[in-house]
Amino acid sequence: MSNLKWWETAIIYQIYPRSFQDSNADGIGDLQGITSRLDYISNLGVDAIWISPFFKSPQKDFGYDVSDYFNIAPEYGDLKDLERLISKAHALELKVMLDIVAAHCSDQHPYFEESRLSKDNSKADWYHWLDAMPDGTAPTNWLSFFGGNAWSWEPRRQQYYLHNFLASQPNFNFSNPEVLDYFEEIARFWFEFGVDGFRLDAVHTINADEPPFKNNLPNPEFSPGPLPLDQQPFFRQLHDYSQLNQPSIQAFCSRMRQVSDSYDDRFLMGEVDGDNDNAMKVSKTFTQTGRLHATYNFDLLEWDGLTIEEMKEVIDNAVETFNDTGKLCFAFSNHDVPRSVSRQIFPLNLKNEDSENLQLLLLKLVSCLIGSACIYQGEELAFEDVTDIPVEKMQDPWGIEFAYTFPGRDTCRTPMVWDSKAPNGGFSDANQTWLPIGKQHYKRDALGEVKKEASVYNSFSRFLAWRKKQPAFMDANNMTKLSGSQRQITFDRISDKQILHCCFDFDTLTASFEEI
């Protein structure tokens, strides 16, 4: 038996609930829909599911703007639906992880609604409030990731409040111990409910230090790139003062770890990122003793994809910093970036007809790295990005803000296609779905691919079954630095019982494994 915890080797399947399966014909995926598809996920051979937020929310950022952390948005179901989902998942030996958004909430959260009314109410200092500069401008030059200033004016308080994303997503003030107490209450509620772990959203954007806040400095490495993403003003700044260089953030991580350690086998994975090349340094800070178990790493999620050489650099950096630990979770796709097979075709000099073999190779690669790995719904089907969504049907606030030059995140969030012969691809019986169905996904509908022996789904399922029998993957998180030719990623995975030589060839688009 391995001495590693389940999360140190887990393959985690990310579900974007709004787009997974609709059970009540309203065009929006829901918890009952997820429950109905758990066998499909279990048969793939993954170890856990991570469900993006389904808490009560006005849905301005589709669940990442929570108005009630203890209740479920009615379009997704209710607590009984979640109870049934967890029960069935556990019966299938799947762990269940929830997405907790701690850095900010919705401006419709009752605590913010109270806080904005005056400077002397019971929630007055639960958020970051500062006076205007003498000329009436915002307190610092900090920018919002979604465009514009990171400070918005509240006329009732006659002060500015901080938001790293939408103006409707005010940041909590974690220097207030009552805020820490509140999130302990949230964590305990869901652990008691039966949840196995949390993916903590954007914890590097938690603001915990006290004023005076400093202006961010210019990013010396910024130069407008070919992609609209590269041209956005946010990236012209370093974010040491607004996000990353705040040691008080770790008070939150330590408190959450104390809570999780008071239960059996609970996992904390924090989403963190860093400016330029310091993401590994940031991850190391967040996973020091007594903090988070692991971080969800962004380095393989570059918007325009990575060359083989760039992938090698990312993996070598991970090995140098985290070898012999399970403190990293890698992913090639998620709900915030274009789908991996679409991003990677061009930088790897491949053709569209290579997409299935490439997707399978990427899935195998990410599953063989140290630590855990997340795969995003549809990767097991080699789904491509959906780039033909009309502007008038876009839903992502980031994409809408920069429409006509930047497609935003809708392209990877379109509903799952389950049955090419059914209305709306089997996702929903509604007349209209919340986002258009990606017609290109009909050729690899999920239920059809399950029946094909050579499909990406079945090939990856067989691989995961084989992986679970290899001590080099399951008993240790030890790997060598990379070797191999220019078009290969090659390394050894090492345990006391086995050394496994792993080679991922981007010419033949095949993976090979040899016990040595």
Question: Annotated active-site positions, please?
Answer: 201, 271
Q: For 479, phi and psi rounded to 5 degrees?
A: -145, 155
Please give the Cα distance from 456 to 276 (Å, whole number). Answer: 34
Q: Give the pairing of strands 159-162 and 129-130.
A: antiparallel
DSSP 351-378: -GGGHHHHHHHHHHHHHHSSSEEEEETT
Whole-angstrom CA distances from 48 to 39, 92, 213 are 12, 10, 40
- CA neighbours closer than 13 Å in the CB half-sphere of residue 397: 18
Would you mind telling me the total number of residues written for the chain in this entry?
Answer: 516
Alpha-helical (H) ranges within 194-240 are: none
The token duo for 137 is 């401008």
Please give the Cα distance from 220 to 287 (Å, whole number). Answer: 28
Residue type at 218?
Answer: P
Q: Taking a C-beta distance cutoff of 8 angstroms, is the pair 53, 159 a contact? A: no
Q: For 9, phi and psi rounded to 5 degrees?
A: -130, 10
Task: Please list, in sequence order, all residues whose beta carbon lies within 8 angstroms of the beta carbon of residue 223, skipping any fewer than 6 positions away.
Answer: none
Task: Please list, in sequence order, all residues whose beta carbon lies within 8 angstroms of the beta carbon of residue 213, skipping any fewer than 6 positions away.
Answer: 130, 139, 140, 142, 241, 242
**Whose CA is closest to 411, among 396, 433, 427, 397?**
396
The token duo for 237 is 């700044």
Please give the Cα distance from 13 to 41 (Å, whole number). Answer: 8
Task: Please list, in sequence order, all residues whose beta carbon lies within 8 angstroms of the beta carbon of residue 331, skipping any fewer than 6 positions away.
Answer: 14, 296, 297, 300, 301, 366, 373, 374, 375, 376
Per-residue b or e along 410-420, where b marks 16 or more CB atoms closer than 10 Å to that residue's CB = bbbbbbbbbeb
Please give the Cα distance from 58 to 318 (Å, whole number). Answer: 38
**Whose CA is closest to 448, among 419, 422, 427, 424?**
419
- Rg, C-alpha atoms of the chain: 22
Tokens 């949230």 label which residue?
186
